[in-house]
Structure 1
Amino acid sequence: MMRIAPAVLVIAIAAGACAPSKLAYGKVRSALVDAGLSDANAACMAERMTDRLTLGQLQRLETLQSPKRDLSDYVLTVRRLGDAELLGVTTSAAALCATGFAPEKK
């Protein structure tokens, strides 16, 4: 029984380290790139958005696809979804990432 306890502890720690928002980051980043944003902006925004939006809201963003668009076009598209919280988080992430004020922007 003593050998099982350390294994369970390791699994619990690993599961806790993989928070849902961190697991969603890659998917959200890909969705933002598919929506036409640059890699740098998508990476920066995904970092901020995955911590602030629900999984349902993030899934709605996956439906937005375009060959190429700038941040203002993307925000206007998100506005059409009719979700005030989604729009607010997207707008603030876009503004912080575009200006370089976001700590995630590298």
Structure 2
Amino acid sequence: MRKVLTVLALTLALSGCVQGIVRGRVKSALVGAGLSEPVSACMAEHMVDKLTISQLRQLEALQGPKRSLFDYVMAVRRIQDPEVIRVTAAAAGLCMSGWER
């Protein structure tokens, strides 16, 4: 029983580390796409649990100059993945309204 609890605790700790790494990559991708640090951090918080790694990689490809949040959401539409568009637009709306997790 003790081994099971140890393995479970280790698994939870590692998943938290992975989540943190993914969140950091999403934030970096958003900053690289031209969004501000605070908006990128907020959006990453909302997006990381809702998109697949493949979808997150598509977002990483949207690098560009500094742009508004609206312009970024319009750029995401080029991906033509309804789930990515929905999650990105929802995260943008939540972050612009000041809603924090």
Q: Give TM-score, length-normalised by structure 2.
A: 0.86
Give 1:29 deviation, angstroms: 0.4
Paired residues, what number? 99
Letter matched to residue 80 of structure 2 = G
Task: Output the CA distance in 2 between the equivalents of 1:89 and 1:17.
Answer: 26
Counterpart residue number, 1:18: 14
Q: Distance in 1 between matches of 2:87 and 2:14?
A: 23
Runs of at least 4 residues of structure 1 off by over 4 A?
5-12
Query: Helix, strand or coil: the match of 1:15?
Result: helix
2: CA distance, partners of 1:11 / 1:33: 36
Match for residue 40 of structure 2?
42
Name structure 1 gaps, 5 residues minimum.
none
Pairing of 1:83-102 with structure 2 (within 5 A): 83-100=81-98, 102=99
Q: Does 1:103 align with 2:90?
A: no
Matched, 1:59 2:52: no
Q: Match of 1:76?
A: 74
Determine which structure has more spread, i.e. the larger CA radius of gyration. Answer: 1
Contact residue 22 and residue 50 of structure 1 kept, 8 A: no
Q: Identity over the aligned pairs, expressed in percent?
A: 47
- Structure 2, unpaired ranges of 5+: none
Q: Which amino acid aligns with 2:84?
A: L
Question: In angstroms, what is the RMSD of aligned CA positions?
Answer: 1.9
More helix by proportion, 1 or 2?
2
SS for the counterpart of 2:79 is: coil
